[in-house]
Amino acid sequence: MNHVPQKWVIGEDPQHPAIAISEIATLDMPEFAVMEEGDVSGISRLNPLLQAIPAALTSQHVSQHHFMEVIIDGPLAKAKDGVGFRAFSLGDNGKIKEHAVLMDPEKLGNLVNTGLLLQTASVLLAQKHLADINEKLLTISEDVKKVANFQTDERASQIYAAIKYLRQTAPGLQNGELSSAIRQKLEDLELELIGIQTHLLKEIVTTSHEVKNCAISTFFSSDKITTKLKELQQNQQKRIVEWKMALSARAFALQMVSLFPGDETLLKARESSIRQDVDEFQKVLEEVAHVHRNRIDAISPVTESSNATHANKVMLNKWLSLHLATQKQQTKAIHLGLEQFSQRLAVEQAQPTRLVVEMADGKPVKLFHAA
């Protein structure tokens, strides 16, 4: 094609459209060089509109194979209810050439409305992020299996079930199935996981008190107190891992909630709440390390050989340097991930969604979106 046809915009007025569609000659232009191919099923709800636009371009030749650039102004669309949307044809100078009569107003209202536009934009974001989320959910699911005794540990079972549910839900969200039932379940999971974390954190702190107040005599030997402290370390290790897994599930559920239209205030408040919980947990881990280190240092048998005492201390300190340090690093990584999510969310909510659709025989066959 040697020409770039006119642009069609749909909204309350042509200067602030909710959606803009224009035909482009080629994807070789520099501004499209960084676009990535996505799943065309993500725009299935826009297909009738995309097919109607070329049919309306009666003043210019439309080939059987061409590209269409679509820009969805998500932030603007949130303030619209779909009522009063009209289509306008713009010329090269950006001025209105004619009002479009693509279809009767009722059908246009059904096609172009807030829910459809936001859902389409959300699906495109989901295709970018949910594959990675699902992979990470699989990883933490396997981690829960390693520490859980599902016959006796109800909380570990609840965390595992929550993660399994999120993994089942992710593919549907990726295809734009933003049902109210799933949205409500994500709310229920947030409340459930907060309750689990609250109990786990209390037990972690209680175990630290046990370590601090452990009064087993070390006059003759360090073996008994070493056995007891090792038992308390394993107890805390299990609960620390479960708390972190519940945190991960909450963080991933938050990202899934962000795919649903609206609720910006809730998203910001929840992200802030989770980050505050992470900050509190990091302080608790620092205190856990401090308490264990002091109690280990205080072990000083009178009659035991220094080599035997040293060996027991090394074994106890190994938990601090390996296991506890690893949990602290992983928790910091989750905190960083939440910060990145917050920044990404702010950018994606502020910017329109831009995509290019390859059309063949009047049907979308390929989708490209900003990298």
Taking only the tens place, the pLDDT of each residue in 307-322 is: 999 999 999 999 999 9
Which residue matches tokens 């080939």? 63
pLDDT recorded at residue 227: 95
Q: Which amino acid is at 237?
A: Q
* DSSP-derived secondary structure letter, 79: T
Q: What is the mean pLDDT of residues 185-212?
A: 96
Which residues does residue 353 pair with via DSSP β-bridges, in sequence order?
A: 72
- Which residues contact residue 246 at a Cβ distance below 8 angstroms, ignoring those fewer than 6 apart? 159, 162, 193, 196, 197, 200
Tokens of 32: 């499209």
pLDDT(204) > 80:
yes
Angle at 56 between CA 55 and CA 62, to 5 degrees: 55
Distance, in Å, from the CA atom of 251 to the CA atom of 247, rounded to the nearest integer, reads 6
Pick from 196-205, 256-265, 282-291: least confident: 256-265
pLDDT(363) > 90:
no
pLDDT band at 333 (very low <50, low <70, confident <90, very high): confident
pLDDT(2) > 60:
no
Q: What is the mean pLDDT of residues 70-85?
A: 57
pLDDT recorded at residue 129: 64
DSSP 154-185: HHHHHHHHHHHHHHHHHHHHHTT---HHHHHH
Least Cα distance to 246 among 285, 190, 323 occurs for: 190
Pick from 68-82, 256-270, 290-304: least confident: 68-82
Instruction: Calculate what percentage of the chain has a pLDDT beyond 70.
Output: 63
pLDDT band at 188 (very low <50, low <70, confident <90, very high): very high
Best-predicted range by mean pLDDT among 14-18, 80-84, 168-172, 309-313? Answer: 309-313
Q: Within 13 Å, how many C-alpha atoms sit on residue 167's CB side?
A: 16
Could you tell me if 58 and 1 are in contact, meaning their C-beta atoms sit under 8 angstroms apart? no
pLDDT band at 111 (very low <50, low <70, confident <90, very high): low
Could you tell me if 263 and 186 are in contact, meaning their C-beta atoms sit under 8 angstroms apart? no
Q: What is the mean pLDDT of residues 137-144?
A: 71
pLDDT(3) > 50:
no
pLDDT band at 225 (very low <50, low <70, confident <90, very high): very high
DSSP 113-136: SHHHHHHHHHHHHHHHHHHHHHHH
pLDDT(260) > 70:
yes
| Cα diameter, the chain | 101
Pick from 83-92, 194-203, 283-292: least confident: 83-92
pLDDT recorded at residue 54: 58
Q: What is the mean pLDDT of residues 274-296?
A: 94
pLDDT recorded at residue 338: 76
pLDDT recorded at residue 223: 94
Least Cα distance to 245 among 167, 149, 334, 151 occurs for: 334
Least Cα distance to 160 among 240, 248, 235 occurs for: 248
Instruction: Calculate what percentage of the chain has a pLDDT beyond 90.
Output: 28
Tokens of 317: 């300190």
Q: Which amino acid is at 308?
A: A
